[in-house]
């Protein structure tokens, strides 16, 4: 794809995630890829093409929860896991942060990036930072089950494939993205969406 776009002035947007920030300070757009995985390796390759191959490449790092109607991501997985085990789990005290963004806000960010993001831009699709325990509490309320603190070793059983990620502290900012593209999230927050949306219907 990069080879095909050389010299065309067209935009190639790579999608990565924010999961894996150090947790000791907010994860920003200036920080390198968040986790050593194939998705982050792709981000590096795509961004390098902005300078090496003259392609207007952009990387958008999305929050782990891009929520909204008919979501099929991490929150529905956690809800189904809670149905099976009979409780909504969180690791430790549940104060670790889980970023979120409404799907409509994420879509607007992709449009803005396509229209006017400079070559080599890294953007964060994050509207808010939610304590993981608040997500567990919303699942508890929606299903009528208890919340329960679990050990990291119990996370996979209690939370399904989300388990290995559930204890990460992923405090993330999108300040530079908002300033660069005049992007301001305006959709529902994650907890409001879980409470008033279709997650438990």
Residue range 88-135, pLDDT digits in tens: 999 999 999 999 999 999 999 999 999 999 999 999 999 999 999 999
In which element (H, E) is residue 66 found?
strand 65-67
3-state secondary structure of 36: coil
Q: What is the pLDDT of residue 148?
A: 97
Residue 22 in this model has a pLDDT that exceeds 70: no
Residue that the structure tokens 């229209």 belong to: 115
Residue 39 in this model has a pLDDT that exceeds 90: no
Q: How confident is the model at residue 7 (pLDDT cuts 50, 70, 90)?
A: confident
65/101 Cα distance (integer angstroms) = 6
Q: Give the N- to C-terminal CA distance of the chain in Å, as an integer.
A: 41
Residue 105 per-residue DSSP state: H
Residue that the structure tokens 């005290």 belong to: 93
Residue 201 in this model has a pLDDT that exceeds 90: no
Residue range 50-93, pLDDT digits in tens: 888 889 999 999 999 999 998 999 999 999 999 999 999 999 99
Q: What is the pLDDT of residue 172?
A: 95
Q: What is the pLDDT of residue 20?
A: 63
How much is the mean pLDDT over the chain? 93
Check if the beta carbon of residue 97 is closer than 8 Å to that of residue 123. Answer: no
Check if the beta carbon of residue 91 is closer than 8 Å to that of residue 135. Answer: no
Going along the chain from its start, the domains and CATH numbers come out as 2-194 (3.40.50.720)
8/74 Cα distance (integer angstroms) = 37
- pTM exceeds 0.85: yes
Find the radius of gyration of the CA atoms of the chain. 18
Token pair, residue 33, equals: 């890829």
């Amino acid at each position: 794809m990069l080879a095909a776009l050389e010299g065309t002035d067209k935009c190639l947007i790579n999608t990565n995630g924010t999961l894996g920030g150090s947790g000791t300070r907010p994860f920003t757009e200036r920080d390198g890829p968040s986790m050593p995985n194939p998705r982050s390796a792709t981000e590096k390759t795509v961004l390098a093409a902005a300078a090496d191959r003259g392609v207007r490449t952009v990387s958008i790092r999305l929050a782990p929860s891009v929520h909204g109607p008919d979501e099929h991501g991490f929150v529905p997985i956690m809800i189904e896991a809670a149905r099976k085990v009979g409780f909504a789990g969180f690791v430790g005290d549940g104060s670790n942060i889980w970023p979120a963004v409404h799907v409509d806000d994420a879509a607007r960010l992709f449009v803005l990036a396509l229209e006017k993001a400079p070559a080599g831009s890294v953007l964060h699709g994050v509207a808010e930072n939610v304590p993981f325990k608040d997500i567990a509490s919303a699942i508890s309320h929606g299903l009528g089950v208890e919340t329960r603190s679990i050990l990291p070793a119990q996370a996979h059983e209690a939370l399904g494939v989300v388990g290995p990620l559930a204890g990460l502290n992923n405090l993330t900012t999108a300040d530079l993205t908002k300033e660069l593209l005049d992007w301001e999230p305006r959709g529902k927050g994650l907890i409001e969406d879980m409470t008033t949306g279709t997650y438990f219907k």
